[in-house]
Chains A and B, each alone.
Chain A
Amino acid sequence: MNRVTRYLKSLLLLELLQGMGLTMAYMFKPKYTMRYPMEHIPKSNRFRGLHALRRYPNGEERCIACKLCEAVCPALAITIDSAPRADGQRRTTRYEIDLFKCIFCGFCEESCPVDSIVETHVHEYHFEQRGENVVTKPQLLAIGDRFERDIAAARAQDAAFR
């Protein structure tokens, strides 16, 4: 009897039709495709993208050249030189991040006592020349100025957990 039902099942192509029914049902489902340059997936406020150096609202740069980020960086991507400024405060004369070395772990951001070095939402960037992978202090500050609003909003969202 079992044999007969098995023969009938395979002769009537029942299982194949079942499979075809499934694929047909999937044909009309909403598609998962993200049309990337036109659409973006939402990003977490903890997203770790391109770095930036922040300033205080009065325009003073936050970084005090404590070099904690340089020390904690597991990829040795950060290079800092410091010297006293004209008003006697210690400031960085050089703050460079090699983006080829950087593993975007976010340790620099966590170690920073003044919330100066941060990682922004920016992840779409490219280099056209050798050496552009090393971003300098003015560049980092400029990125910070440009995205300050986003950076501050993301930090505010995460404030309860920090």
Chain B
Amino acid sequence: MLAELLLVLWTLAKVLAIVLPLVIAVAMFVYWERKVIGWMHVRMGPNQIGPLGLMQAFADVAKLLLKEIVVPTNANRFLFFLAPMLALVPALAAWAVIPFSDGLVLANINAGVLYLLAMTSMGVYGIILAGWASNSRYALLGAMRSAAQVVSYELAMGLALVCVLVLAGSLNLSDIVTAQSGGLLHWFWLPLLPMAVVYFISGVAETNRAPFDVAEGESEIVAGFHVEYSGSAFALFFLAEYANMILVAFLTSILFLGGWLSPFPATWGLIGHGSFFWLLAKAFVVAFLFLWFRASFPRYRYDQIMRLGWKVFIPIALVWVLVAGLLKYFHIVAPGA
């Protein structure tokens, strides 16, 4: 009994050790996004609150938490409050299987990739419910768009994952990373280059980020599915969206960029060895792409998004599944030592 209690407490401590830094990372990522987009617009971005504006995100959080949550007339109260939680919980739960370093993973399960697919697909329920429960046309439109978009890009994303699975021969994320060991050229980005691009772009579409942000589409449907949300309920959606972005950045690093592995040979001492910091650095670079995209590209039209998903990404991904199979069959790409 005591041992079980200790196990629960220990697991809880580990969960907190992942979730708390993640929430801080989300706050800093929001700040970094505003800074980077500001720089790309040739302005400064937030620079008033705290040194260099570093406390801006925390000030915003404090503001949001103190705001009133307005429930629209005839909204379904239960679903209205359930929706942001349904959006956030999968976004946080997905982090359970992320291997931060060799052996440093909360749940080293063999179906890690399946679990991830399940969790990232769950998030869309929060969005659909939010749109439906709000009793607002804009919210409903945003939710419908988001649902269609996420379902379409899930397929391309899944096929890109299949390529990784074929080459790594495992569904376990830690095994996928170790299969890439052996230096920069052994990482899966090289044999699966189109798939790495397809995966990341699908990830951008899955998280409803610019240029695929028709679900929010400020200029068309105000804020889309979360138009009726305010205060801490809105903060939860915000947190979920950014946690998902960071998750996609980590996943892209793990699946295609060698996870915690170092790009340098092991003889180079400290920087030659794989560590959490390599994963962090890779994820940071990938996450920067999200911001870069947002500052660079205008929003896709809705039918163009569908065309890109169904008529471009899925055919390419299907072809590359075959290519990956051939690469594996003829031992051109063998899992690393």
Contacts and interface: CB of A to CB of B under 8 A. Distances in A.
Interface in A11-32: 13, 16, 19-20, 22-24, 26-29, 31-32
A24 B44 contact: no
A32 B40 contact: no
B36 interface: yes
Interface residues of A, number: 15
B40 A26 contact: yes
A23 B42 contact: no
B331 interface: no
Contacts of A13: 197
B292 A26 contact: no
27 contacts: A13-B197, A16-B296, A19-B296, A19-B297, A20-B292, A20-B293, A20-B296, A23-B40, A23-B292, A23-B296, A24-B40, A24-B292, A26-B40, A26-B41, A26-B42, A27-B36, A27-B39, A28-B39, A29-B42, A31-B39, A31-B42, A31-B43, A31-B44, A32-B42, A32-B43, A33-B43, A35-B44
Interface in A26-63: 26-29, 31-33, 35
Contacts, number: 34
Interface in B275-313: 292-293, 295-297
Nearest to A19: B296
Given A20-B296, A27-B36, A27-B39, 8 more contacts: A19-B297, A20-B293, A22-B296, A23-B295, A29-B42, A32-B42, A32-B43, A33-B43
Interface residues of B, number: 14
Interface in B27-55: 36, 39-44, 47
Nearest to A32: B42
A28 B36 CA distance: 10
Contacts of B42: 26, 29, 31-32
Contacts of A35: 44, 47
A82 to B, nearest CB: 50
Given A23-B292, A31-B44, A33-B44, A16 B297 contact: yes
A28 B42 CA distance: 8
Interface of B: 36, 39-44, 47, 197, 292-293, 295-297
A22 to B, nearest CB: 8
A115 B292 CA distance: 56
Instruction: Give 6 nearest A-B pairs by CB, closest first.
Output: A33-B44, A23-B296, A27-B39, A23-B40, A27-B40, A33-B43
Nearest to B211: A16
Contacts of A23: 40, 292, 295-296
A35 B45 CA distance: 11
B156 to A, nearest CB: 14
A32 to B, nearest CB: 5
Contacts of B36: 27
A109 to B, nearest CB: 36
A16 B293 CA distance: 9
A80 B39 CA distance: 53
Q: Which one of B47, B293, B296 has the greatest number of beta carbons of chain A within 10 Å?
A: B296
Contacts of A24: 40, 292
A22 B40 CA distance: 9
A26 B197 CA distance: 24
A14 B36 CA distance: 23
